[in-house]
Amino acid sequence: MTTIQVHRLTKQFGSRRAVDNLTFHVRPGRVTGFLGPNGAGKSTTMRLILGLDRPTSGTATIGGRPYAAADHPLHEVGALLDAQAAHGSRSARNHLRALATSNGIGARRIEEVLEEAGIAQDAGRRVKTFSLGMRQRLGIAAALLGDPGVVLLDEPSNGLAPEGIIWIRELMKRLAREGRTVLVSSHLMNETSSFANHLVVLGRGRLLADMPMRDFLDTGNQPRVSLRTTEPDRLRTILARTGLTPVRSDEDRWSVEGTTAEQIGATAAREGIPLLELSDEQTTLEDAYLALTAREIEEESTASTTSPTSQET
C-alpha cells in the first residue's frame, strides 16, 4: 500500500511562503481531508507532491519515491487539479485517449471511466460545450483512468450539482474502502466532514492539525449540553452550586457549557426536575476549525509580543 510522505516541505514564491516546513503523511485505506482557507497552500502542496512544482526545500514522495520517477504514472497516481485543464476543442473522449495512450491504457477502460463519471453519452462532444460540473466529472474520469492506488483531488465538488456532490462523496469513500490512498482538498468544512476520516489542516502554508476526524472534533470545543425543562429556575439554582451556568439559547431551550448529558441527567433525576429534552451538542467541524484557528492567532500574538526583536532580523 502506498503512503504519501511530505517531509519539511517549503515552497517560496518570491517573498511569499506558500508552503512552510510541512511534514505529514497520507495513509491508505481512508479519506484524508486536506482543509484550509483559500490560499492556505493546499493546491501548491498537491503540485509539489506530483512533482509539478519544484520545492524550495524538503521532499514529497509517493510510496517512497518522487512522482517524477514513477514507472507507470497513471497506474500509480490519479489526480484532479483543475477541471479547466482539458482543451476546449477536444472531445471528452479524445481528451481521455491522449492521456490513456501515453500510459498504455486501452479504449475499453476509457469507456468504463466515462460510464463511471456519468458522461458517457456526452463523450463525443467538445469540452468547451461542457458545464463546470461535467468538466469536473471528466477530470475525475481522467484521475481514475489507470485504476491508481493513490488519488489526489483538489476541490472535486466545485461546480457539481447536489447529486454530483453525493456521487463524488460515495466514490471517495469507496476508493478508500478498496484500500487506496485518497487525499481531497476543500475549503468547505461541512462537506469535508461528510467524507473524511482523517484531517490535515493548513493555515498560511503551515500545518495546524494532522489527526483523525473524531479527535479533531473532540479537541475543538468544550462539551456542551442542550436541554428543555419545565423548571428552568430550579435547575439553574442547582447547577449554579456546581459552577455551571445554563444560558437560554432559544425560546425554551437552555445550553450548558462544560458538562455532559450524562451528568445533567443524573443531577436532574436526583432533584426530581422533569427534563423534556436532553442531548450532547455535536461539535461541528466548523466549530472545531474556528476554535483551532482562534488558538493559532492567540499563540501568534503572544509569540510576537514575547520576541519583539524578531521583526528586525
Partner 1 sequence: MTPTAVLHSEWIKITSVRSVRGSLLAILLSTVGFTLLAFATMSESDRAGNDLLAGAFTALNFGQLAALAFGATAMSSEYHNGALRLSLIAVPRRGLFYAAKTAVIGALALTIGWVTTFTAFLAGQALRGDQAIGLDHPGAVRACMGAGLYLALMALIATGLTALLRSAVAVLGILIPFTLLASFIFVDVSGVAQFLPDRAGQQLIHQNPTGSLGAWTGLGVTALWAALFLLIGWWSIRRRDA
Q: Contact positions toward partner 1, by CB under 8 A?
A: 47, 50-54, 67-74, 77, 79, 81-82, 84-91, 94, 97-99, 101-104, 142
Strands 181-186 and 30-35: parallel
Nearer to partner 1, 82 or 300 (CB): 82
| Strand partners of residue 248 | 254
Q: What is the DSSP string of 129-191?
A: GS-HHHHHHHHHHHHHTT--SEEEEESTTTT--HHHHHHHHHHHHHHHHTT-EEEEEES-HHH
Min separation Cβ 212 and partner 1, Å: 29
Strands 150-154 and 77-80: parallel
Min separation Cβ 59 and partner 1, Å: 15
Nearer to partner 1, 148 or 246 (CB): 148
Min separation Cβ 1 and partner 1, Å: 21
Nearer to partner 1, 52 or 303 (CB): 52
Name the phi and psi angles at 225, rounded to 5.
-120, 140
C-alpha dist (Å) from residue 165 to 21, 39, 158, 195? 33, 23, 9, 11
End-to-end CA distance of the chain: give it in Å, rounded.
Answer: 45
Cα–Cα dist 90/130, whole Å: 11
Min separation Cβ 92 and partner 1, Å: 11
Nearer to partner 1, 87 or 295 (CB): 87
Min separation Cβ 249 and partner 1, Å: 47
Nearer to partner 1, 95 or 198 (CB): 95
Name the phi and psi angles at 201, rounded to 5.
-110, 130
Cα–Cα dist 209/79, whole Å: 23
Min separation Cβ 87 and partner 1, Å: 6
Nearer to partner 1, 87 or 248 (CB): 87
Min separation Cβ 120 and partner 1, Å: 19
Cα–Cα dist 264/5, whole Å: 45
Q: With CA atoms as reference, report the closest residue to 255 among 285, 234, 235.
A: 235
Angle at which helices 132-144 and 92-102 pack, to 10 degrees? Answer: 20
* Grid cell for residue 56: 524550495
Min separation Cβ 204 and partner 1, Å: 20
Q: At a CB cut-off of 8 Å and minimum separation 6, what does 92 contact?
A: 86, 114, 119, 122, 123, 124, 125, 127, 130, 138, 141
Nearer to partner 1, 82 or 262 (CB): 82
Nearer to partner 1, 84 or 304 (CB): 84
